[in-house]
């Protein structure tokens, strides 16, 4: 083998190794982000003595600081400036901030009121709510598999409603608010970290008085114990770190793989709710989740085969 041929072979092999390494790194980072989101109920559960509104206030304030620190470190301040320079983008970010604030409040309320199972259900049906938004808002055409997936999930929610005698509003509210948040971010066109920094900044006028406890009728800015104070302050890093891992990891792996990995989060939350905190998981839950899991399987496999076909 000539020196030129050997050099070409080494170059080709190094490209493949670099690609494989990048894909593995992206997979691990993305899976890690969903795993962190999945175990978050345990974190917020330690703050059960603090009102949900105050927790969200602290989460917003410290997330704002943490996100802007990430923006500075990653050199994306230009993205923040560009977003603030456009009136339409500012309005979209404001809408996104209201949606994510609502989502956080409902989620923390669900965790600390013993409804982790219902919260996990919300994030299972979130992709299927996104399908409906895509159909009605973006005029996207649904495939037969997507239609089937949606109706299976709808059957699961309706079955739980009729059998348990109450509408699972926490699940639906979480799914709807997060799906709408994703839709707004699609139009915003700002990277995830910069967007989170601005969204939390826009919420600051309400978040700061909420964090002090004034809006809850008390004045205990950092809770009643040292542990609660530390956990409240660290809420920004807990929120921002998995988002950063997701933003970096998802760039180097196929969207179909992201679709598979996203179910790590609600699965871990479900397991924590049932086996750690002893929440009930009855036959009604099992059948309802069964319908939804079947729908998600069809939806995910449909996306995977579409991706393979496009490749």
Domain coordinates in residue numbering, the chain: 28-310
167 Rama class: left (phi>0) / alpha (psi -120 to 50) / beta: beta
Q: Report d(CA 56, CA 210) in Å as an integer.
A: 8
pLDDT digits (tens, 9 = 90+) for 205-243: 999 999 998 877 777 788 778 999 999 999 999 999 998
Residue 253 and residue 100 in contact, taking contact as beta carbons nearer than 8 Å:
no
252: Cβ contacts below 8 Å, ≥ 6 apart = 22, 23, 25, 26
Q: What is the mean pLDDT of the chain?
A: 86
Tell me the two tokens of residue 179. Answer: 């799906």
C-alpha to C-alpha distance for 56 and 108, rounded to whole angstroms: 8
Tell me what pLDDT residue 224 has.
78
Q: What is the pLDDT of residues 142-196, one digit of tens each?
A: 788 888 888 888 898 888 888 877 889 999 999 999 999 988 988 888 888 899 9
pLDDT tens by residue, 254-307: 766 777 788 899 999 999 999 999 999 999 899 999 998 998 888 878 777 776
- pLDDT score for 19: 44
Structure tokens at 129: 């709510």
Q: Which residues are within 8 A (CB) of 184 and not within 5 positions of it... i.e. 6 or more apart?
A: 92, 95, 96, 99
Map 83-110 to HEC letters. Answer: HHHCHHHHHHHHHHHHHHHHHHHHHHHH
- The pTM score is 0.85
pLDDT tens-digit series, residues 99-136:
999 999 999 999 999 999 999 999 988 888 887 888 88
CB atoms within 10 A of CB 176: 21
pLDDT of the residue at 35: 94
Top pLDDT among 15 and 170 is at 170
């Amino acid at each position: 083998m000539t020196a030129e041929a050997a050099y070409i072979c080494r170059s080709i092999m190094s490209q493949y190794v670099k690609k494989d390494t990048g894909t593995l790194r992206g997979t691990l980072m993305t899976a890690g982000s969903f795993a962190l989101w999945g175990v978050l109920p345990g974190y917020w559960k330690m703050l059960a003595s603090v009102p949900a509104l105050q927790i969200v206030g602290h989460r917003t304030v410290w997330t704002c600081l943490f996100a802007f620190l990430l923006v500075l470190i990653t050199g994306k301040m230009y993205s923040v400036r560009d977003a603030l320079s456009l009136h339409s983008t500012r309005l979209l970010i404001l809408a996104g901030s209201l949606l994510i604030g609502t989502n956080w409040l409902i989620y923390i309320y669900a965790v600390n009121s013993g409804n982790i199972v219902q919260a996990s259900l919300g994030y299972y049906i979130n992709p299927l709510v996104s399908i409906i938004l895509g159909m009605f808002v973006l005029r996207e055409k649904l495939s037969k598999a997507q239609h089937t997936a949606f109706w299976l999930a709808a059957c699961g929610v309706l079955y739980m409603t009729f059998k348990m005698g109450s509408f699972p509003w926490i699940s639906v509210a979480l799914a709807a608010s997060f799906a709408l948040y994703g839709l707004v971010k699609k139009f915003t066109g700002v990277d995830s970290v910069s967007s989170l920094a601005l969204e939390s900044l826009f919420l600051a006028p309400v978040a700061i008085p909420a964090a002090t406890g004034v809006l809850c009728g008390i004045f205990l800015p950092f809770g009643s114990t040292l542990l609660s104070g530390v956990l409240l302050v660290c809420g920004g890093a807990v929120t921002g770190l998995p988002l950063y891992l997701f933003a970096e990891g998802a760039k180097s792996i196929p969207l179909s793989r992201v679709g598979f990995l996203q179910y790590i989060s609600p699965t871990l939350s479900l397991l924590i709710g049932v086996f750690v905190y002893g929440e009930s998981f009855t036959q009604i839950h099992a059948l309802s989740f069964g319908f939804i899991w079947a729908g998600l399987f069809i939806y995910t496999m449909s996306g995977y085969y579409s991706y393979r076909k496009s490749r």
